[in-house]
Structure 1
Amino acid sequence: MGTLQRRADGSWQASGDPGLPALVGVWRPRIVVGPAFDQQFSAREQALILQHERSHRRHGDHWANGALLLVRTVFWFHPLLPWAARRFLRDQELACDARTIASQPALRGLYASTLLKAQLVHPVAPAVCHWRSQPVLKERIAMLKQSRRKALPWVSGQVLVVGVCVGMGAVAWASQGSAVAGPVAAAVDREIQVDKMPPPSYPKSAVEQRQVGVVDLRVEVDAQGQPTDVRVLRATNPGVFDAVSIAAARSWTYRPAMRKGKPVAGAVKIPITFAMDDTEDAQ
């Protein structure tokens, strides 16, 4: 590049042109332009080029290119590395183009014409971020023709994420059914007791098919010892034993929980096991 001179815009001007403009260096990266930079590009074109190279520097692309050069040095023998390196640099330039033009979409045409004016005609160093990249020039210009990302897919994605979070929260809340009536249960002197538990009837269809299973119930009991709500928390054979389990729980006799010597409402979790012996009797 020859001798470098500092420019008023913060970039450096070289006396030679090995594929400039480019972001050069890893430890102290500098934006370096060629000797004919002012003559070749207008003021608006120069601003776009410098904005592009500043985006490279701001996002650490010079560090990424340095790491890529190290990988290519160590794994020089790998047959897929040249292809992977080309794809890496291609995506890097496309991403930088998108960042540069995102805030000023009206300048897409000027940006594309500036790319065309800067055809790469000289060999360049392997670890720098070049404004001119002839192998992907056609693709870069084609990408500039695409409209900005529509809001609908983004909104749909956000709605999906929120829906998943709400669903997971609902599952987590439902799984807390094994806890007994929250703060009431934690402070009671005596838990809910069941005095009489006549076993549920074994469904005829389950007997015929020799089905077994376990049903976990959550029974809410008021201060008078009456079951106010019975629900199934979990069933190993859903739909087979649910109805008979709920009916049985509603017929049981309960003693309410006690707190400070007074009966209080609460809830209790009761598992019911449906099994069959060799004579097909319900247990």
Structure 2
Amino acid sequence: RIVVGPDFDQQFTAQEQALILQHEHSHRRNGDHWANGVLLLMRAVFWFHPLLPWAARRFLRDQELACDARTIAPQPALRGLYASTLLKAQLVHPVAPAVCHWRSQPVLKERIAMLKQSKRKALPWVSGQVLVVGLCLGVGAVAWASQGGAMAAGPTVAVMDREIRVDKMPPPSYPKSAFEQSQTGVVVLRVDVDAQGAVSDVRVVSATNPGVFEAVSIAAARSWTYRPALKNGKPVAGAVRIPITFAMDESDEVTETAR
């Protein structure tokens, strides 16, 4: 069932109504409501995972872009009307953002910009598929070769009894300027830990919003408490990668997650 707001037939023309309903019917035919249900279940079960909020936003963004493409593909002449309907929908009555993403403001500009693009050509798509298959085969070959090398090494190979553990991880402070500008990001750190469990070095592997969250992430990682890795029953130096997600929920409260 598709639920529309009050005065839907008065606020939108017949053509605009038809485009909105076609968009929602496309969601239904494609099974997006089931996919969203699975997403909600995953967010409930894996609520602690630092990358899940970012992945959920990307999933919903791509879902809306794909639905726009399916809706407008049979009628490319209506792209202008479709874009104006998206803009007009921002000015009418509010809708429930948890179940309807037609008015997704953060990606509105990108959705309208994508309407200008023509249908992709077959050659780049085929080339991309060949590249993905080639990468998968290459990674599989490397993994198989490394496994064979490990087996050939025999019983003399040292056994890692325990990886590095982090006992206490107080979350980093959210930068004031980033909070005021509603900036979010993910920082991946490489933390080197010596055999005594002390931090010897902290480096930034990647950052989705460079120059904003690196400093507070490094400061937090240096203050955490670590247990060194154990190899053959003895503590040894090692390194661990730690992703830190800086995100805000719908009520603009800061959520800081470290894993």
TM-score by length of 2: 0.46
Q: Which structure ranks higher in relative contact order (CA pairs < 8 Å, sequence separation ≥ 6)? A: 2
**Higher Rg of the two aligned structures:** 1
